[in-house]
Amino acid sequence: MIDIWTEKYRPKKLSDVVGQKEITARLEAFVKEKSMPHMLFAGSAGIGKTTSAIALAKQLYGDTWHRNFMETNASDERGIQVVRSKIKDFARTKPLGAEFKIIFLDESDALTPEAQQAMRRTMEKYTSTTRFILSCNYSSKLIPPIQSRCAIFRFRPIGKEDIKAMLEMIAKKEGLTISEKAMDAMLSVSEGDLRQAINVLQSTSIISKTIDEKEVYSIAASLHPKEAREILDLALNSRFIDARKKLLGLMIDRGLSGLDVIKALHREIISLDVTDVQKAQLIDKLGEYEFRIAEGGTEDLQIEAFLAQVSALSN
């Protein structure tokens, strides 16, 4: 069985959580007091929310942390029934050898409005035996009564130096060699998401113990910056057909999604040799087409429409 490196190298202590020192220092204070409020962990994916919750439980409860800790994912079970049965049943039982137990509800912003109302009441009723840690990408999707019951911790994307240090540590332990360009590529495609960076490293290591830039972009399903720049330059030089042909060829060869392409193009627009006004216009259009794709628009048609807008801007 192949170990999943995101689990294999998951920190066991709050002090070892990467890139969130201010937050983990606050959490360690709760561990020291052996008391904590309900909490809301908000932030993008792969930046340490789940890791912090598990590390907190391990430090509070020691080797028997599983007895007083339950993790559930609201994106899998998002209806009111999971609150009324699974969560409520765990919350109403007494903790074992501790003052309280912890329920960690991941992706809580996926809960339906009805389930959130039920959760609100459950949090209030079982405070004497249970603390809730809610994790979400967008705290605005949670109803105000839930937010007001929680101490809010806003996690930030992990810095490039912290991700680089973690990848270098893993590479050393796994006997890998990462070229400088490959490291820059992993930092670029991960965009502050440490989990994605580690997954890309593990996936490329299966192909070769020497990690190169080309494999990183291939595994990450992302356009190389040079490719994205070339496509934009072609469109800006009124060579719409050439830009379209190159982009569609890359999308087919690598199985890229429209949103993958949008992200790659966005990274390159800032460095284009055009005026700031034109850059703003391009980003405005890019955001519009990202929304259309997210709402179900045909990906290749929307990408072509954006390239047409870029070509029109050059005239």
State whether 35 and 149 are in the same domain: yes
Question: Of 196, 219, 242, which one is at a domain's C-terminal end?
Answer: 219
The number of domains in the chain is: 3
- The residues pairing with 178 across neighbouring beta strands, listed in sequence order, are 211
> If you average pLDDT over every residue of the chain, what do you get?
87
Q: Side-chain half-sphere of 268: how many Cα atoms within 13 Å?
A: 17
Q: Side-chain half-sphere of 196: how many Cα atoms within 13 Å?
A: 22
**pLDDT, tens digit, 9 for 90 and up, residues 160-185:** 999 999 999 999 999 999 999 999 99
State whether 46 and 128 are in the same domain: yes
Residue 266 pLDDT greater than 70, yes or no: yes
**pLDDT, tens digit, 9 for 90 and up, residues 61-75:** 988 899 999 888 766
Q: Which residue range forms the structural domain that includes residue 281? A: 225-313
What does the pLDDT read at residue 78?
56
Q: What is the distance between the alpha carbons of residues 118 and 140, in angstroms, rounded to a whole number?
A: 18
State whether 203 and 258 are in the same domain: no
State whether 125 and 24 are in the same domain: yes
State whether 118 and 256 are in the same domain: no
Question: Of 131, 154, 177, which one is at a domain's C-terminal end?
Answer: 154
Task: Read off the DSSP letter of residue 141.
Answer: G
State whether 195 and 115 are in the same domain: no
User: Could you give the 3-state DSSP secondary structure of residue 130?
Assistant: strand
Residues whose CB is less than 8 angstroms from the CB of residue 144 and which lie 6 or more positions away in sequence, other chains included: none
State whether 165 and 79 are in the same domain: no
What does the pLDDT read at residue 77?
60
Percent of the chain past pLDDT 90, that is, above it, reads 39
If one compares 30 and 250, the residue with the highest pLDDT of the two is 30
Residue 23 pLDDT greater than 90, yes or no: yes
Residue 1 pLDDT greater than 50, yes or no: no
- The residues pairing with 153 across neighbouring beta strands, listed in sequence order, are 41
**pLDDT, tens digit, 9 for 90 and up, residues 184-240:** 999 988 888 999 999 999 999 988 899 988 888 888 877 788 888 899 999 888 888
Residue type at 62 in one-letter notation? G
